[in-house]
Chains A and B, each alone.
Chain A
């Protein structure tokens, strides 16, 4: 694998994470518990679609096959997507969405802070922009997880259940393969082993403030680095890609 090929895969993976979570969050549009929350979740989705647009555009340039960001988003099948399994998990109830967001936003806070120092100028620039947005997402998810955890018996029960159910998807955030090792050596990618203890300490502190328990590390789900996904991604893509599949090259 050349450096260029590794960078393409790495950028694609980052773009896919933002795109798929954006699609999931946009499903809350008009379904959130109240209007301010509806606005918040769709604002997050908008931030992430913007980030994925920048990343997939860059990935297309790195690949050199004239694939635009739209072609990468709408013309790839499930096995050609490399997002983490966590982002494709269904929204569930509001607690599930907030716990998922907390896991991801804490990760992104540390990840994009480091990425600002990447020797790849484009990734460093996108990281600086993204980090400002991630801080808002994190503050929001953190507030809610504490409030729900330390709230009523029902909200506490649902939040703890969301944590227990999603925990097995948290390990994959820190998985690395030859793409990562090649780019870490170049000063481009981030060593995720360094982020893992920071992530866990931050999460443990939030749980502590919300009277929630951090689960024991057990079996962790894996597969996305090889394009192997849970059953949910295919359904998500069938909806997201419908228009371009039915009417290829349709323009807005």
Chain B
């Protein structure tokens, strides 16, 4: 390895600005996707847990991580995806959920994933907080979101599904 050695915390701090391209206000750390940075003689290994197996955002996040660390002079960098334990929306922290709501996406309900279809009936509108909402479609523009409409403010919105 060449150059200055960075600590794990320094690398994690740099990575805290990397966002999920689908929800640019929330970082991969707040999403619960960033697991660890392992520093060894062969370089820096960033451990990520993918949200959805087919999520096209994963390859963008991987490229963003490599580009950012390269810019900081941190190399060589390897990004490894781990599937176990499987990512769950319960790993998303409250800051992430609040940012998501302000962005206009209803955040997933806490610890309700064991019974994910029950949670769907009690989604609050991210605009007016009304509980009078209807599920339009369980599937939205990305794998992680469902489509809803609010019967109070009449706005359509997306709900980040329990997973």
Instruction: Indicate with 1 or 0, residue by residue over B133-162, a CB within 8 angstroms of chain A CB atoms.
Output: 000111111010001000000000000010
A40 to B: closest C-beta gap in Å: 4
Mostly, the B contact residues are: loop
Question: Please, what's the 1-or-0 string for A17-57, where 1 marks a CB less than 8 Å from any CB in chain B?
Answer: 00000000000000000001001100100111111011000
A245 within 8 A of B: no
Docked-complex contact A129 and B143, CB < 8 angstroms: no
Q: Assuming the A-B contacts A50-B54, A132-B163, A133-B52, are A36 and B86 also in contact, with contact meaning beta carbons closer than 8 angstroms in the complex? A: no
* CB-based nearest B residue for A139: B117
Contact (Cβ within 8 A) A46 B85: no
Contact of A53 among B54, B84, B141, B161 (CB under 8 A): B54
User: A-side binding surface: helix, strand, loop or mixed?
Assistant: helix
B83 contact from A40, A128, A135, Cβ within 8 A: A128
Bound Cα distance A133, B50 (Å) = 13
B23: A residues at CB distance < 8 A: none
Separation of A125 and B54 alpha carbons in the complex (Å): 15
Cα of A49 to Cα of B138 in the assembled complex, Å: 19
A39 pairs with B83, CB closer than 8 A: no
- Rank and list the top 9 A-B pairs by shortest CB-CB distance, nearest first: A50-B54, A50-B53, A125-B84, A36-B137, A125-B83, A46-B54, A40-B139, A128-B86, A43-B139
Given A47-B52, A50-B54, A128-B84, A135:B143 Cβ within 8 A: no
- Residues of chain A within 8 A (CB-CB) of B56 are 46
- Interface presence of A242 (CB below 8 A): no
Decide yes or no whether B55 CB sits under 8 A from chain A.
Answer: yes
Tally inter-chain residue pairs, CB-CB below 8 A.
70
Contact A54 B136 (CB under 8 A): no
Q: Does A136 contact B (CB under 8 A)?
A: yes
Which A residues are closer than 8 A to B by beta carbons? 36, 39-40, 43, 46-51, 53-54, 121-122, 124-126, 128-130, 132-133, 135-136, 139-140
Question: In the complex, which of the residues A36, A49, A124, A140 contacts B54, with contact meaning CB atoms closer than 8 Å?
Answer: A49
On whether the beta carbons of A39 and B86 are closer than 8 Å, the reply is no
- Structural contact, B54 and A139, CB atoms closer than 8 A: no
- Interface contacts beyond A125-B85, A132-B113, A136-B138: sample of 10 additional A-B pairs, CB < 8 Å, sorted by A: A39-B139, A46-B55, A50-B54, A125-B84, A126-B53, A129-B50, A136-B161, A139-B117, A139-B138, A140-B138
Q: Which residues of B contact A54 (CB under 8 A)?
A: 53, 83
